[in-house]
Each structure stands twice: as structure tokens, then as C-alpha cells.
Structure 1
Amino acid sequence: MQLRVRIQGKDAFINRLGRWNDPSDVARASALSAKIWADYCGGTFDTTLRSYQPSNEHADADLLEALKHLSEANRQGRTIHAYRTLRKYGKTLRNKSDVDEFVQWMLANGLQNRTVDGILCEFRRVCPENSKHLFKHKLKVNKGSSLSDVLSTEEITLVLEDLRVNEVWFYPLFFLWLSSGMRNAEIRGLTWDCIHWDSGEIIIHKTLRVDGLNTHRYFWSTTKTGKERVVPIGYSVIKVLQEHKSLMVSKGIYDYNGLVFVTPITHKNVYDSLLGKVWKRSLVRCGIKPRRLYAQRHSFLSHALAMGNSPADLAQMAGHSTQMLLKTYAKPTGRIRLPEWQRELGSIHDLVD
């Protein structure tokens, strides 16, 4: 048995109300119909019909369907994880009490506050009508230190030297990454034809994205913003890339239209878990505290800002708005230029001596 509700000229249904030949089920359906009418007259009608679902002992079909549709459209890991988590939970989230119970279930299953926050954010994303308040929470999410993703100039020098000696095949990749701030998918999808040697530029117009539904599969896509952009590279980067090209030529795997960075054995595209292992090994050897792989981009942009580059120019190069660049990447680097009148007083070592 189902209840049909007309909302803004469209039919919506509340299912699983019981059997037509069961008087008690019919009575509950009539009471639910009366409540819906009373809420409509009182101005508290829930247009999502979520609060009128008969039981939370069934999977939330509407929310699951919306998440599944979004995950198939964007192929993003966080959306897919939200969909799979709710499917595993197997209950309907009708009201705030149900959501609180779901949050406690996630925490009991070892999910961290930040992960729970991301899942509820995906719920709000696919159910924006009356669910923005339903899926709010009061969990404390630690943002971490502002220095957590930025390596100092000394650390960058140390780790690059270690990679040059101990990770010869991957050294050019990390050298370019720390010298350009490109995104992970842009590094993976970089092809030789996009490098303009004479002008010292790399044209970024495509990415090699991981398929969130199948993490061993990759597909070509546009940039995150859908726009082409130019990333300048210096002489040292050009020299390292040319040496890497010569190495690939000697191995017979160079292709003008092929990938710049491939795995050393199968010669297929590189992937984050592999690069993460290389990165972690190098940090351990250098005695540097662990940083996530995305520290390459954060370190480059933070240092480039600290050196006095125009935020607008850097934002264009990074594929961000100026506001987002300053909000996300303007982090302490240890680079501070003192005003001229302080420098004229002499060195601090002169005062000590």
C-alpha cells in the first residue's frame, strides 16, 4: 500500500504502508494522511516527505537513488563512499533523531569526524530542499596546523636531493610537482606534446582522473575548472624533464603524444598510492614528519605567494579564483622580508658580536 501526495503539480509517493486488507495498516495510513494535511495547513509540511516515512528499518530508497545518480555522474570517491555507507546502514533517515543514530553508528564503525562530516555534506548536496537542517551536526572537526601541508625551503631541498639519489625514476615527477603546483590528475595526465620547451610553458587542458567506482580504472577528463591554462616552468625544470625524456628514449618508451610519467615496470600511468609510497619513503629517510601527497601543490603555491608573486597571476596559473587561492594556500612558509629601514640597521649577528 502506498500514499500518493500531489506536490507542485507532481505526484510523490510514500511506500511500504502495509496491506490494503489489514485494518490496522489502513488506519495508520489514514492517520498519516491526516498529519500531512495538518502540516500543510500549519505551514510545516515537509516537501521531501522524508519525515512521513513509515519506518526507519528499511533502506532510504530516495536518498540512495540520488546519491547513486550523483556518483555515476561525477565518479568522485567521497560521493561513492557516502552512497555505500548509507546502503550498508540500511535504514531511512526521516528526522534528526534518525540522523543522530546514523552518526553514532558511523563513529562506532571507526569513521573519523571529518569523514562523517563529508558524508553528511554529500547528503545535503543531493537533498537541498528541507534536508540542509536535517543533516547538520555538532561534531568537532580539527582543521590541523596551518603548517601541516607546507614544507620549508630546507625540507624541499633535502627531499628533492634524496629523491634524485634514491628514486631516480620518480625524481623528475616530484621536481616538476614541487616547481609548478599542478594537481594530481594533471601530473598523471601530462603528455609530452603539452610541454613547450622554447617558451618554457606547459599547457594544461586535460587530466587523467581516477574512476571512483573502480579505483583501478582511469579516464580522460577536462581540468577541474573546464578551462585551459598555462603553467610556466624554469630552466632547472626543463633540464630535468629533458634528462627524463632521454632516459625514456633509451628505454624505447618515449612517445610524443604519450604520458610523461609512467610506472617503471609496466609503463602505464602512475597512481596516487604508488606515488604516496615513494613520497613517504623519502620523508622517512630525510627525517621529515609525514605530509600528504597534496603537500606538493600547497608548498609551491604558499612559497610562490611568500616570494611576492601576484595572487591574481598565481590564481590564474593554479586554476583557482584569487579568493580561494588566498584562503587555501596563503600559509606560513618562514619566508619574511623585513622592511628596508630595519635592514639598514645591520645584521643581528653584528649586534651580538
Structure 2
Amino acid sequence: MTQQLHFERHLLGGSERPLRLAFIIDPLDRLKAWKDSSVALMRAAQSHGHDVFAIEAPTLGWRKPEADHPGGSFGEAIHLHLRPDDHDWYRETQREWLPLKAFDAVLMRKDPPVDGEYLAACSLLERAEADGVRVFNRPRALREHLAKLAILEFPQFIPSTKVSRDLGRLQQFIDEQRDVIVKPLDSNSGSRIFRLHRNDPNRNVILETLTGNGRHTVMAQQYLQAIAQGDKRILLIAGKAVPWCLARIPKAGETRGNLSAGGTGVVQELTPGERHIAEALGPLLLKRGLLLVGLDLIGERLTGINVTSPTGMVEIRQQSGFDAAGATITAIEHACAVS
């Protein structure tokens, strides 16, 4: 609790009135309440006394303002009452089409992939932002910080890395590094990630498959032995690092720590090196409109920057007591009060 109060002290002066908060999410029936950070955020918002609405991303739209219609971005808003039961976790109390201007803040929590539909949703949210709607994270920042490529801005913190679709250049990088991880730029949850050794007899066909014979760009990175201690997710809230991270430790015989790939989540305090990276990036990313960010680190090397729908809040609270979801809502209250 002391850590929680110390963390939130810089956010004093938040909203003293109930807010209407809309969460842009994937379909409600796909969310797993016992582990989903979006559900944790909605529960925290309700516990803070705010009205919680869910807008499923496919319902987003826009209409030209006309004499008989205010126009702008809108969506089908589902007013929710959140319940503590993880298997029966909400009640729908009302459903209606509303302009996004009807809300004090909109939280974009749609999961990857960042495909055409995701980018369309960001454009619609950017139109809402132009109309005065507070959107977290900012739509432009979401588009400009793709999880795989965003790390290239910070070469001092990342492992040896090559981004290319050229098979010859990728082969040369594997020869140099001897042991690498190769992944498509649009992969998520550990899908289509391969570890390739210099002498791997399948390396040619794997590279051909991943790049579509040179049509698709991929990222290759030096394999980090520290993955055995976990692929760590560090949360940044309003530019400040949560003092606990979620280390996703691979199961035996696996190179991926993703929980969806069978990894085990163990909450750990940040090391000095991890805190240094978080403190270097946090204020900069916040200034760009990224209120909630997930940094991925392996062995104090930055491997990913997640700005779409960072997770890990449930595990961090269960194992450390730190309420990252509650701290995020406090940050949003503060942003609404000062803007």
C-alpha cells in the first residue's frame, strides 16, 4: 500500500466528479475476466465511482455534421455494471448509439493485430479527439509506435537487431550472431516466432516462409540467454514505472515466455537496469500522448514497446498487491481534471 500511495502521489488533483468512461474493446464475450487487464481497468473505474461503457471496436463510425444531426465519431455504447464473479463478470444495463463526445474520456483497448481495421479505428478516434474528446492512448501515437519497430528509436537499449525482407541480409545476420530470434512485424502473443541457429538445416525455408520469399519485412534479433529468467513486462503509467514487473518465464523446451505459449507469470521488483530504461522512456512517451505503455525486456535489453492494450495488471496485483489498474484510472482522472 505504501508503494501505491507513493506512486500515485504525483497524480494528486484528480477529478472529484463521476466520469463517463468509454472503453474501446474487442467483443465482451472474448474477454477473460480472471486475467484481462481491460476488465481490471473497467472494474477499477467503477470502484472509483465512474460510469463504465464498453464500445466494441467494429461498431465505431463517423457521420458528417448536418442540420438535423450533430455528426462526428460514434459507437454502440454498452453501459456496464461490473461484478466480482470472473465467470459472470458484468451486467448490461443499457445499450445505445452515442457520439464519443458524450464521454469524459475514451480508452482505446482493442487488441492487436494492428491491421487495416485497427488503423481505421484510430482514424475515427482521431476525428473524435479533434472534436475535443480525450482519448487514451492518443490515436496518432498508437499509429506511430508499432510494437516491434518502436524500439528502433532507442538503439542504446536493444539487442543486436536487423530489420529487412532481403533474404541475403537476414542470412548474413544469422551467420554473424549464430543464434537469433526471427519474427514478423505483425506477430503478437508469441505467434510465428522462430529461434534459428547458424547451422539450422531449416533456416532457409523458415526465412522464405516468414518473408513470403522476400515480400514481407521481418525482425531478427540476437538470442538472449536471459530469456530463461523471463520476458519481463514493465508497465508505465503517466510516464512512471510501476515498481513491479511481470516476468513471463518459458516452459521447459520453449524459447517464448508468452503466457499464451505456456509461460509462467512471476511478479518481480524492477532491477536498477530495468528502472533506468523505464525512467528514460517514460516521460518521453507520456509527452507523445501514451498514458499507458508496456515495455518488454529480456536481460535488461528492450525488445518491445506495447501501446495498444498493455497487460499484466491482474498478475501484478495478485502477487504484489500493487493496483496498476487503479493507478491508471487515477491518472485518467488527473488528465481529465487538468485538461
Structure-1-length-normalised TM-score: 0.26
Give the number of the structure whose residues are more often strand, by fraction: 2
Higher RCO by CA contacts (8 Å cutoff, separation 6 or greater): 2
Structure-2-length-normalised TM-score: 0.26
Larger Rg over CA atoms: 1
Give the number of the structure whose residues are more often helix, by fraction: 1
